[in-house]
Amino acid sequence: MRPVIIAANWKMNSTPAAAGPLAREIASRTREPTVVRVVCPPFVCLAAVRDAVAGEGIQIGAQDVHQEPAGAFTGWTSAAMLAGLATWVIVGHSERRRDAHETDAVIGRKVARALEGGLRPILCVGEQLADREAGRALQVVADQVRGALGGLDPERLVEGRLVVAYEPVWAIGTGRNAVGSDAAEMAEAIRRIVADLGWTGPEAAALPVLYGGSVTSANIGEFLAEPTIDGALVGGASLKPDEMAGIVGRAAMTARARVDAGAAVDRRELKIR
């Protein structure tokens, strides 16, 4: 049974002074123990958010990590620097592919550094609008997953509890979300690709895949109604406590349904034995 994960990507928003109170408000409005909640503030806000949500059961993620362990890389942040501040990290976000020219090869090295540093990576993939319109979406995403993960040890990725976020670029910050069934198809395709990369069947089936792109409390249900989708990576709406309350509340319904379904399967198996 896969967990239900709601990850908040604050992008370049908030400040060290404002981030703590915002995170605390989100924490108090989203107390749902069945949902894995992750908040990813900017680097300079990590300490404030960590202190503000201590004891709340919220996990903290960084928005990026450098692909080298240390060295002459002015302005960048290594995995080791994040120790004590974050336990998750977003890698390969389309805004970094676009603005920092990150390639799949670099993103793969970032995943490796994250795992070495004990950070749980959320690998972002997603096609451009032209790709989807030309019927190339699956191919583009497959190339991104293979390009980033192909050189890495599947066992390490499973052990490091990799998460993949499918974020179609045309849906990010546009108010135009993907269709739930398209995102669901992509989630299954991503699991098939990791199986091709050497993951065992059960390992691939257990890979959490999130949807991201204009997620709100109004449309999260469309994605969580899809059994292949395990939650969301939320941008703009994640800065609004009301929205987060609605999104996490809906996620808790799915999480509880999964627990109940799992318990029913266990009961059936016990009977068979």
Interacting residue with ligand 13P among 61, 108, 213, 231 (CB under 6 A) = 213
- Under the criterion CB under 6 A, does residue 233 sit at the interface with ligand 13P? yes
Interacting residue with ligand 13P among 30, 77, 144, 214 (CB under 6 A) = 214
- Under the criterion CB under 6 A, does residue 212 sit at the interface with ligand 13P? yes
Q: Specify which residues 121 forms β-bridges with.
A: 89
Could you tell me the smallest distance in angstroms from the CB atom of residue 72 to ligand 13P? 29
- Under the criterion CB under 6 A, does residue 58 sit at the interface with ligand 13P? no
Interacting residue with ligand 13P among 234, 244, 248, 252 (CB under 6 A) = 234
CB distance 82 to 89 below 8 Å: yes
Distance CA 124, CA 59 (A): 18
| Helix axes 180-196 and 137-149, enclosed angle (nearest 10) | 40
CB distance 244 to 29 below 8 Å: yes
Q: Which stretch binds ligand 13P (CB under 6 A): 104-112, 113-121, 213-221, 244-252?
A: 213-221
The pairs formed by 18-22 with CB atoms below 8 angstroms and a separation of 24 or more are 19/45, 19/48, 19/49, 19/52, 20/48, 20/49, 20/51, 20/52, 21/52, 22/239, 22/241
Residues designated as active site: 93, 167
Binding-residue pattern over the window 143 to 182 for ligand 13P, x denoting contact by CB under 6 A: ------------------------x----xx---------
- Under the criterion CB under 6 A, does residue 215 sit at the interface with ligand 13P? yes
Which DSSP letter does residue 70 get?
Answer: S
Could you tell me the smallest distance in angstroms from the CB atom of residue 14 to ligand 13P? 14
